[in-house]
Amino acid sequence: MTAIRLIARPMLASMFVVGGINAFMNPSGKVLRAEKVTGPLSTIAEKVAPGLPVPTDPATLIRINGGVQVLAGLALATGRMPRLSALALVATLVPTTYAGHPFWEEQDKAAKAAQRTQFFKNVSMMGGLLLASVDTEGKPGVAWRARRAAHDVRREAHHLGRQARAEARVAKAHLS
């Protein structure tokens, strides 16, 4: 791991660990704003997985979201599954941003400006997380390895085909 990754990942993850702990320990202050997201999400979850016990209580969903942020934030900070943890953080940040910073609903100019700043701060963090989710640390990614494997298989098949034709010519010559 490079020095930049060693420093940048914990920096990026710090907000999620702190915010996740806060959401997990104190969900009540976020329930009112979260209800506009948790209600529709619970309805969708019940339709997609009708037999599963899906929590519908906003405080429980806020705690789950906070717990995911803490775990994925710690994983990102320590370099454990950084790509997956970055994607998990993006998934938690989308509803958090939409519910927590609806600047378009604010009437007061100062409150609107503050919410807009927080909204776009979260959008910026999503950008950093998306970059972290595709960072292969200089190693070939899965797509490159798959293309390379397909190329190697084609090359080997071509080589084996030529070898088989050559052996068939030799066998034909011996039979004649």
pLDDT tens digits, residue range 7-16? 999 999 999 9
Q: Which amino acid is it at 30?
A: K
**Closest among 14, 2, 7, 5 to 89, alpha carbons compared:** 14
Which ranges of 26-141 does DSSP label H, i.e. alpha helix? 31-48, 58-78, 82-100, 109-134
The answer on pLDDT for 113 being more than 70 is yes
DSSP state of 55: -
Residue 47: alpha-carbon gap to chain centroid: 24
Global confidence as pTM: 0.74
pLDDT tens digits, residue range 85-94? 999 999 999 9
- Those residues whose C-beta lies under 8 Å from the C-beta of residue 91, and which sit 6 or more positions away, are 68
* Residue 102 backbone class (left: φ over 0; alpha: ψ -120 to 50; beta: rest): beta
Taking residues 132-145, report their average pLDDT.
82
pLDDT tens digits, residue range 69-83? 999 999 999 999 999
Going by pLDDT thresholds of 50, 70 and 90, the confidence category of residue 56 is confident
Token pair 């071509």: residue: 158
Token pair 């919410």: residue: 115
Residue 173: predicted pLDDT: 86
Residue 145: alpha-carbon gap to chain centroid: 21
Q: How far apart are CA 165 and CA 55, in angstroms?
A: 65
Ordered by start, the domain boundaries in the chain are 3-139, 140-176
Token pair 């339709």: residue: 47
Going by pLDDT thresholds of 50, 70 and 90, the confidence category of residue 1 is low
Residue 67: alpha-carbon gap to chain centroid: 15
Residue 43: predicted pLDDT: 79
Helix (H, G, I), strand (E, B) or coil at 141: coil
Mean pLDDT over the full length of the chain: 90
